[in-house]
Each structure stands twice: as structure tokens, then as C-alpha cells.
Amino acid sequence: MILCFVSKFFCIHGNFQTPSAWKPLAENLKARNVNLDVIPVNLENYSFDGFDRWVDGFCNSVETQSSHEKSFLLGYSLGGRLALHACLPRPDLWDAAIVVGADPGLESEEDKRLQLERDRNWARRLTSEPLEKLADEWDKQPVFCGLKNQAPRNPGEMDASKLSRQFEVFSKGLQQNLVPKLAELKSPPVLFLSGEKDQKYQKIGQELAKSSPIVKAQVVADAGHRVPWENPETFVQVLIDFAFG
């Protein structure tokens, strides 16, 4: 059975990833005969002068590319934070958004200060230490629930200086708390996904769903923080059901 959807899915990756991280998603959808155009977003195509400037450039580009087709957002971790930001100025641009393991923002100034210090440390180290060593260290953080990275990662595609810039510009320490603004939106519908092993982001998703009428939280079995790659079959089915159900 062929599902005849004509839609674009703009996919934003996380830290220590490149746009090719979404290749398995495109292949999975193709195998299911879902007529959906997966568009991996290259963060470097838009301004690195902060969240607002990046989002402005991204939304303008999406509006140009959409040609009256349905437009969906998908963002993981850092990409999920950028996706939430993109919903605010142009809710009319999106038919729906899916965010995976994304923090809508820190509340206290002390938490922001500490997070900014951590991210600036990563940014500094990326300019002076081997990239593969740092990627391995990144994967061993508690947030990943002790699970091996299943997402495609080709060191040849990664530029340490650009990754460093991402940590500097898109630190949660510089991000505003989006919860109050998301609570005021009436669209688009947002699905917040977290893995059953990812207790931290399960809680974040549940609290966000309570505060915002557009957000629905859902937990995906047999997955930790990297849901799209740790349980790809369930993830793709959830994506299809939410976006086209």
C-alpha cells in the first residue's frame, strides 16, 4: 500500500551530528513507500548570530521551499531546541512539529551560567583536542543512558571549528526559557518524544505538555535519549501516525 502524502519534513540534528544523521529515517520511510520529502537541515546555511537570527533565516528558507506543500519540523536535542524556537515567530508555517529530547529552556540564571561554562569548555576543547576523542567522551555522558551511539557519524563530514561555534552560539545558557511563549501558542501541534530509559527528558516532556495546549508528550519503548536511532521502527510509525493520522 502506497501512502500518497506530498509533504516536506525539515530535520534538524543535534550536537556531534551532521545532516547525514537523518539518512536512516529517509531510507526507512522510502522502504514503507511513504511519499515524504526528508530535508536534512544544514545548520551552517543560516546566521550563527544567535537563536533569533538563525530561526529567521531558516523560516524564510522553508517558506521559499514549501511551494504550498505541507511542512513539518523534526528536531533532536539541539535541533529540537531550534525547532521549538522556529514555532514561535511563524506558527502558521508548520503543519506540525516533533521534538526529541529537547530542553525548552533553563529557568534560573545560575543554571544558565553553569551551562554556558560547560558549553564554552566544549567549544574550547573542540579547537585543541582530537575530534574523535571528544565524540567518544560526549557519548559517555549520563544523558545517553549508557547506550552506544547508533546514529550515523562520519568524522570526515565533521568540522571541529564549526562544531565549536555551535556550542558557543546555541548554548542552553544563552537560550531563553520558551515555556511561557509556548503556553500562549494555539498552533502548530507539537509532539515531544522521549525514550523510556531517559527519565530526565520524560519529565521535561510531561511538564511542557501540562503547560502548553499544543504539546503532547509520548514515551517510546526500548530507547534512551537518541530515540530516532535506538528504536527506528517505532519512531517512524509514531512520526507517521502523528503527522498524517
Q: What is the pLDDT of residues 47-86, one digit of tens each?
A: 999 999 999 999 999 998 877 788 999 999 999 999 999 9
Q: Which of 219, 223, 197 is nearest to 206 (CA)?
A: 219
H or E stretch including 22? none
98: which strand partners?
Answer: 74, 191
The reported pLDDT for the residue numbered 4 is 44
Reported confidence tier of residue 1, pLDDT bands at 50, 70, 90: very low
Length of the chain: 245
Pair type for strands 70-76 and 190-195: unpaired
For 174-211, the pLDDT digits (tens) are 999 999 999 999 999 999 999 999 999 999 999 999 99
